[in-house]
A and B are shown apart, each in its own frame.
Chain A
Amino acid sequence: MNEGAQESVDGQDAHAARNRVGRPGFLTSSVRVFDFTLSEMLWSRRTIFMALVAGGPVALALLLRAFASFAWLDFEGRVDGSSLEVTGPAIFGLMIWAFYLRFTVPVLGVFYGTALIADEVEDKTLTYLFTRPISRGAVLFGKYLAYLVCTNLVVLPSVVLVFFIVVPMSGNIGASFPSLVVDLGLLGLGIAVYGSIFALIGAWFKHPLLTGLVFVFGWEPIGTVVPGYMKNLTVAYYLQGLVPHAMPQDGSMGMVRTVLQAFQAAPSISFNLFWLSVILVVTLLGATRIVANKEYVLEQ
């Protein structure tokens, strides 16, 4: 090899070496993407919707508490001749199940998860991200982390506020605290799993929001009630299967358990947690892989 060719090879090696040193790792890249995405996500128009969704239960809790304090509402009633009393912990359990698990978490997952990549495509800013010296997968993962932080730090404080407003009504905060911790973990897990599924949908499908809404309001409600194995293909089955374990053990919770009767045959906690973890990892890896390999065509 002559000296000129050797120098060229040496130069290319040096250039490659400089690139390897300057290119951040996957996690570092993700953190950088997370940093600027978090502000964009938090101050977007979707946040108004998230604030309404997370603040609605708090407003309702305050209303209930005011009515109870002024004795405008009687939390006792009769059902089929039997007396029925609804205590604060029972109301809290119902709100977790009906508001947060069945609506807030899936809906926020749809609106934020599908938009992780889809928004960049729609705004035609994806090119600027993909031309950076960071892996495409890191872009998605960083955005996913921003979604996790953003939604958790809005939804979970809302749950805590509802807990302290509602539970003292014929309830005991200390005794109900373990259920709060479990419910917070449950909601955090739900946010993570739904977010990863809709991140995959957002990276894969052309109309991800529509697909996501069909999944949340169509597939999941039907899949969980149809007898057979179809419920195993929903996230709600595993998540809501954890809810009865989170319920307070008070006799007045009989009403709530009756409502959740469809889930009294839920499998064990470890089974549900295992499959939720599998869904989370598989869908997140799938989304990362799709983003890394797919050629996104930005409409002119």
Chain B
Amino acid sequence: MKTGTRYVLLGGLAILAVGLVAGGIAFLRGGLTAFGVAQSSPDEFRYVPADANLLAYANVRDVMESAFRDSLGGLEPGLDGQQEFHESTGIDVESDIDSVVASLSSDGDSLSGLVLLMGRFDAGRLEQLAQQQGSEVEEYAGHRLLTRTLENGDLSMSFVEPGVLALGSPEMLHRAIDQASGATEGDVTANDQLMGLMTHVRGTDNAWAVAQFAGSDIMTLLPDEVVSQMPPVSAMAISGRFDQGVSATLTVEASDEQSGEDLQAVVQGFVAFARLQAGSRPAWQGFLDSVQLLRTGNMVTLTFDMPPEVLQLAIPER
């Protein structure tokens, strides 16, 4: 064999080998989103514990400024809730909040949540308002926690850093503060299962949620009537982009292939029922035509594009 031939062959083999080894390492470590145009995790993930079963994110600024939200006009069923939130916390969702990270962790028999609001807050005014409403002040690891007793338990809030407001139970906030200071090992980015589910999230989505159900009580959040009708599922990822409409993807991982088939059949039946109910309404027809359902093994993926007209039909005006 000529020397030149040998070099060409070795060069090709080297590229193959290096590529396969690098890709294999990335696959095993569940990562390599670096060196490129890729989505990145918010810094606030360092407050979220590694044992979280549900992780969600929303770019509130993008959603509020989207044409989809503008086109909803008078259809704002949450306005009363938004007003109540503003009155109780002093936070205006439309102008003060840039993004939100939320998590749910299964703590024995109960679920414990953590909400992180990123934006611009008048900490002094908010703390004063909280104290007026009966909140007690606690110092923990150099942070001020304001805890208020509600019907369902204690709710604490704390400005864990400038521009980041944490809400949750006192125990959860203690964990979050310890997590960020490095007192405990590993944040949610060390949770390979959740991070693996994030691969279903598109880089341009401005809201998403991922959840793993195996070994957690998250399914208890859903009505029993819904859970009893669903095949067993082990994980879920939902993500969407709000611009002219809502373009969303829902990926559900069933427990096994048979459950995946059953889940696909359930969704297909639901879509068929929706088509019957939609009649000849163009908005609904367009939306249902955009629905795509694909199953591979035990993974079922549903994608759709929802124009604002669909919500206008479904939700009565104020």
Contacts and interface: CB of A to CB of B under 8 A. Distances in A.
For the residues of B in contact with A, the DSSP-based class is: mixed
A245 interface: yes
A42 B5 contact: yes
6 contacts: A38-B1, A81-B245, A157-B11, A163-B19, A249-B296, A250-B301
Given A81-B307, A254-B303, A153 B8 contact: yes
A292 interface: no
A76 B305 CA distance: 14
A82 B244 CA distance: 8
Contacts of B13: 153
Contact of B32 (A154, A173, A245): A173
B203 A160 contact: no
B248 to A, nearest CB: 8
Interface in A45-90: 65, 68-69, 76, 78, 81-83, 85, 87-88
A114 to B, nearest CB: 22
Contacts of A87: 202-203
A118 interface: no
A174 B8 contact: no
B8 A82 contact: no
Interface stretch (A175-183, A201-209, A211-219): A175-183
B15 to A, nearest CB: 4
Contacts of A171: 38, 203
A103 B243 CA distance: 38
A177 B38 contact: no
A172 interface: yes
Interface string B250-262: 1100000000000
A171 B307 CA distance: 26
A76 B204 contact: yes
Contact of A39 (B2, B27, B36): B2
A203 B307 CA distance: 60
A169 B32 contact: no
A170 B204 contact: yes
Contact of A170 (B16, B35, B38): B38
Given A172-B32, A251-B200, 17 more contacts: A82-B290, A85-B203, A85-B204, A88-B36, A149-B9, A153-B9, A157-B11, A160-B15, A163-B19, A163-B23, A169-B37, A173-B32, A174-B26, A181-B23, A249-B299, A252-B202, A254-B292
B78 interface: no
Nearest to A161: B15
A170 B245 CA distance: 21
